[in-house]
Amino acid sequence: MCATLRLMRINLKVGHFPLFPTSLYTSQLLVLHSLTSPNKTLNPKVTSFSTVSSYYSSNSLVSVEGFDFLEQFSPFRNLANSSTYTVITSNERRKIVVGLSRVIKDQKGYILEAFSRDFCPSFLVKIIKLLGDKEVAFAFFKYVVQDYSEHTVRSCCISAHFLAAGDLRLLAQDMLSWIFRRIGKCRSDEVVNFMWREHYKYESDFSVLDSLMRAFLTAEMVSSALEIMSKMRDNGLRPSSSAVSILFKLLLRIGDYGSVWKLLRDMLHKGPRPTNNLFNVMILGYSRKGRLRTGESLFHLMRKFGCEPDVFTYNILINAYCIRGWTSYALNWVHMMVEHGCNPSISTFSTVINALCKEGNVVEARKLFDGMQEVGVFPSTVTYNAMMDGYVKAREIFQANLLYEEMKKNGVTPDAITLNILVAGHYKYGREEDGDRLLWDLTVGGLFPDYLFSDVSIAGLCWTGRLNEAVALLDNLLEKGIPVSVIAFNSIIAAYSKEGLEEKAFEVYNIMVQFGQTPSASTCASLLMGLSMTGRLQEARDLMAKMIAMSFPINITACTVLLDGYFKKGDVMGARTLWDEMENMGIAPDAVAFSALIDGLVKAGFVEDGYDAFFQMIRKGLVPNNFVYNSLITGFCNSGNMNEAQKLERDMREMGLFPDIFTINTIINGFCKKGRMKLAIDSFVEMQRSGLQPDIVTYNTLINGFCKAFDVVNADNFMTRMHASGWEPDITTYNIRLHGFCSTRRINRAVMMLDELVSAGVVPNTVTYNTMMNSACNDILDRAMILAAKLLKMAFIPNTVTANLLLSHLWKQGLPLRTLIWGQKLREIGFEFDEITYKILDKASHFIQENTEYCTETTEKSLFLDFLMYITYDYIRRSRAYSDNNDSSYELVQDGPCGSFKLVNKATVWPI
């Protein structure tokens, strides 16, 4: 045993890092040094995820050359050594080692030695008491109990009796709960019988039954808990109010409303009398399930049983109405609260302010924010964060900055959420350099207390694009035992998800769960975002369903992420179905969700449906922003309904919103599409009068409009004005002019402009190539071959449009059979036909059927088209083969009992 102690001391010197302020301060300096680096090296494609490997290796961290210090203390060391299921974290393992070393140092090592030879309840209890800390003691119990035979389980029950008799009932309940989870319902009944039969030697009837009931509740075995409660009634015992409250919470969570009311009636007749806490639990449970009327009824029922609604009761209902988007009702409850002499808390105001901001009603939110201080309730960090988030979403970055300065002036400490809101706002809607400066001020300015610094440091590294360093820092903190909150994990999960590295996001998520952190709404939203961004919508829906079943917090943000994913993939039906399901889940859409719905419907061509959603949004009291108006204006302009588009622009101004450059460009484009160039010019002039300066898009839109109207003079005039305004032509400008020249058969001028854009350092794109290719196919053969050679020399890249263009020219050249042959070849390599492709092939097929005799003479032009068609076919075939080799189908599976998930590549799962 002395040798063991010596090895422990060696390990502790090497691997243990005490959490002294100096140690944490040193790590802070190291992080700050890394944040000051001027070079941003964004490389999100992390080659190896150190936290995962380190986490698992750290389970054998307290070892020297394969010798596991903990294994020697387990009476089931052989089983423990072969166990593939990790029951304790590296942090718990380290704490156990520290605790056991203290036991040995206090000359109590003989107890450990005796316990390691035989699993004895009395020795286990002595060790647990010597360890002192409940968390460490329970971790030790989980580690050593690797056998669940009848003898071992009964020994654990006796240990629980000893602990309960020694005023350690909470630990006894945790041990029983752990056993119940491992052995299941059938064997749990045997445990109950054994403990009841032997309990009189150690503890009272109430003590043993209450411990069993709470253990079943912790294990979420509701039916067994109800059986224990019935047994208590049979023995004339009254269950405790706190245990009954937990039982109500579980019954409501699983939706067993019949048992809830039966249990309430049982309490009214036999006790214990309902308390405020019990009613609050019931109101909360029904409200979360969307049964607000039932929650209100319970609220009014409270006084009948001598319970007066308190601030928690009101806050539950206020929050429920805010979640469903009924903020006006929530405000009514606030007024009712004050009328009944119950003072609103900071949580009350924060909830309503957050709801108003999510609705886009920042003005009313600010009034409430200022008004709460007048009644003596001062904003907290949460309140400031909600208000700043509202300003950022409204793109009022200046106001958010002012509020942040006010926050510092009033001595309210910012947190990692503050950092994420402000930095994200600057990166999205402000200037990146301001985001960098703010990030520096927040992380170096000493504004954060030490316990928040790890969260802020990790978030800061993620924002600066240094994801590898953020992961390494997280790994280091976990190894040293420095507390890391869910915010730090969320920062890395969100960063991975944004980069499309959803598998690594799940790895970090699983580490988070294994370290005992409960996923937040932000966690769920980030994981869904990662799956949605890569088009894995089915996996995203599966994940959402599983998280809802496990009572993880799914909020409107997560639903909006998935909704946006459906629209981006073109699955309008899936998006509509999800929108309807949100109502059933009791999740009310906010301004952001409505914005995603309206934009998605408009882009899919359902402009009228988007307009209906717009009016529904207004009826709910939500405030549309520029993005919503711009989406609808774009939809109406694209459909040619310029009157409605202009009406919406006027409505914007009446609502206090100023049309931006995107709005005006959209309207100008709408007029140009309809050939109404005078009105387009009028909008251009009005834009300049209102203080908006035209950008490259404005000029390109007008030049394109004049080119399509064959007004070369005005097109050249606007090219001149564009140069005078300081804008250089981009590839879009050149493509417009090229198309104009090609349309008017001025091929020589088009070729000169092609040379001009290359000389100017502008890179041609597929539009350029296809425009010139179409001209080559229409032109005389000699000049067409020269132009085609020029395009091939410029690394011409064909696409779907190219294929359709060549098929169309084959058909126009009187070669329907060649058209069908190439169509079949494209089909064989998985080429996705669109509406244009089908129309061309249908025409060719009908022609052959109706004209059995037609000329099939091979000409030089047909050979030229065949050559171009072959190049296009070959490129698409090779691209398709590469895509197939790199495409993977994934399946979401549950990995472990604690809510862990992983993505499994179906291609790697071979059938047995």
315-356 pLDDT, tens digit each: 999 998 887 778 888 889 999 998 988 999 999 999 999 988
Picking from 16, 24, 20, 33, the residue whose alpha carbon sits closest to that of residue 452 is 24
Q: Which helix (H) or strand (E) holds 63?
A: strand 63-64
pLDDT band at 852 (very low <50, low <70, confident <90, very high): low
Query: Other C-beta atoms within 10 Å of 817: how many?
Result: 15
Cα(645)–Cα(667) distance, integer angstroms: 7
pLDDT for the residue numbered 85: 44
Helix (H) or strand (E) holding 898: none
pLDDT averaged over every residue in the chain:
79
Q: What is the helix (H) or strand (E) element at residue 905, kind and residue range?
A: strand 901-905
**Which pairing describes strands 67-68 and 890-894: parallel, antiparallel, or unpaired?**
unpaired
Q: Which residues contact 280 (CB under 8 A, 6 or more apart)?
A: 310, 312, 313, 316
pLDDT confidence of residue 60 = 39
Residue 426 in tokens: 């600057």
Q: Alpha helix locations (H) across 535-590?
A: 537-549, 556-569, 572-584
Per the DSSP assignment, residues forming a β-bridge with 904 are 891
| Per-residue pLDDT, 527 | 84
Percent pLDDT > 70 in the chain is: 83
Is the per-residue pLDDT at 911 higher than 70? no
- Band the pLDDT of 879: cuts 50, 70, 90: confident
ω into 44 cis (within 30 of 0): no
Is residue 891 very low, low, confident or very high in pLDDT (cuts 50, 70, 90)?
A: low
- Contacts of range 756-760, beta carbons closer than 8 Å, 24 or more positions apart: 757/729, 757/731, 758/794, 760/728, 760/729
Q: Which two tokens stand for residue 38?
A: 């001027």
Q: Is 67 helix (H, G, I), strand (E, B) or coil?
A: strand
Q: Indicate whether this model's pTM tops 0.85.
A: no
Between 129 and 517, whose confidence is greater?
Answer: 129
Candidates 753, 696, 759, 755; CA nearest to 728 is: 696
Tokens, residue 414: 């910012």
Q: Are 442 and 414 in contact (CB under 8 A)?
A: yes
**Residue pair 716/709 in contact by the 8 Å Cβ criterion:** no
3-state SS class at 799: coil
Q: How large is the average pLDDT for residues 59-79?
A: 61
Burial class (CB in 10 A: 0-12, 13-18, 19+), 223: exposed
Check pLDDT > 60 for residue 619: yes
Q: Which of 855, 41, 8, 51 is nearest to 506 (CA)?
A: 51
The mean pLDDT value for 286-292 works out to 82
Count how many residues are written for the chain. 912
The pLDDT, as a whole number, for residue 901 is 57
Residue 606, amino acid: F
What percentage of the chain's residues is helix, strand, coil (to nearest 5)?
Answer: 75, 0, 25
Considering only residues 427 and 896, tell me which one the structure prediction assigns the higher pLDDT: 427
Tell me the angle at which helices 121-131 and 134-144 cross, rounded to the nearest 10 degrees: 140
Helix ranges (H only) for 570-660 are: 572-584, 591-603, 607-619, 626-638, 642-654
Q: Using an 8 Å Cβ cutoff, are 870 and 807 in contact?
A: no
pLDDT tens digits, 781-794: 667 777 777 777 77
- What does the block give as tokens for 166? 């020694």
Neighbours of 754 (CB within 10 A): 22
For the cut 80, the answer to whether the pLDDT of residue 904 exceeds it is: no
Amino acid found at 781: L
Q: Model confidence at 759, in pLDDT bands (50, 70, 90)? A: confident
Q: Across residues 39-67, what is the average pLDDT?
A: 40
Residue 59 has pLDDT above 80, yes or no: no
Q: Which two three-digit tokens encode residue 535?
A: 């088009």
pLDDT confidence tier of residue 493, bands split at 50, 70 and 90: confident
How would residue 19 be classed by pLDDT, with cut points 50, 70 and 90? Answer: very low
Residue 439 pLDDT > 90, yes or no? Answer: no
Give the mean pLDDT of 255-262. Answer: 88
What integer pLDDT is reported at residue 895 of this predicted model?
Answer: 56
Pick from 550, 548, 616, 532: nearest CA to 585: 548
Q: Which amino acid type is present at position 652?
A: M
CB-based burial of residue 763 (10 Å sphere; 0-12 exposed, 13-18 middle, 19+ buried)? Answer: exposed
Distance between CA 245 and CA 523 in Å, rounded?
28
Among the listed residues 694, 700, 703, the one whose alpha carbon sits nearest the alpha carbon of residue 725: 694
Residues 6+ apart with CB under 8 A from 849: none
- pLDDT tier for residue 898 given thresholds of 50, 70 and 90: low
Answer whether 216's CB lies under 8 Å from 230's CB.
no
pLDDT at 751: 81
Q: Helix (H, G, I), strand (E, B), or coil: what is residue 64?
A: strand
At position 894, the amino acid (one-letter code) is Q
Residue 573 half-sphere exposure toward CB, CA atoms < 13 A: 0
Whose tokens are 């405020």? That residue is 276
Distance CA 96, CA 135 (A): 10
pLDDT of amino acid 531? 80
Q: Name the CA dihedral angle for 825, 827, 830, 833, rounded to a multiple of 10 degrees.
A: 130
Q: What is the pLDDT of residue 909?
A: 40
Q: Identify the CA nearest to 490 among candidates 437, 429, 424, 534.
A: 424
Q: Cβ(360)–Cβ(623) under 8 Å?
A: yes
- Cross-strand pairs, 893: 902
Q: What was the pLDDT predicted at 56?
A: 39
- In this prediction, residues 399-411 reach a mean pLDDT of 88
Find all residues with CB under 8 Å of 48, minimum gap 6, and list them: none
Residue type, 171: L
What is the reported pLDDT for 282?
Answer: 92
Q: Please tell me the distance from the alpha carbon of residue 624 to that of residue 393, in angstroms, as a whole number.
A: 12
| Cα distance between residue 893 and residue 230, in whole Å | 38
> What is the reported pLDDT for 883?
52
Average pLDDT over residues 295-302: 91
Residue 631 has pLDDT above 70, yes or no: yes
Q: Please enumerate in sequence order all residues whose Cβ is within 8 A of that of 37, keeping only pairs 6 or more positions apart, or say none.
A: none
- pLDDT above 80: residue 291: yes
| Residue range 765-814, pLDDT digits in tens | 888 888 887 877 777 766 777 777 777 777 677 778 888 888 888 888 77
Give the residue among 715, 707, 790 at the shortest CA–CA distance from 742: 707
Which of 464-468, 555-559, 849-853 has the lowest average pLDDT? 849-853
Q: What is the pLDDT of residue 899?
A: 57
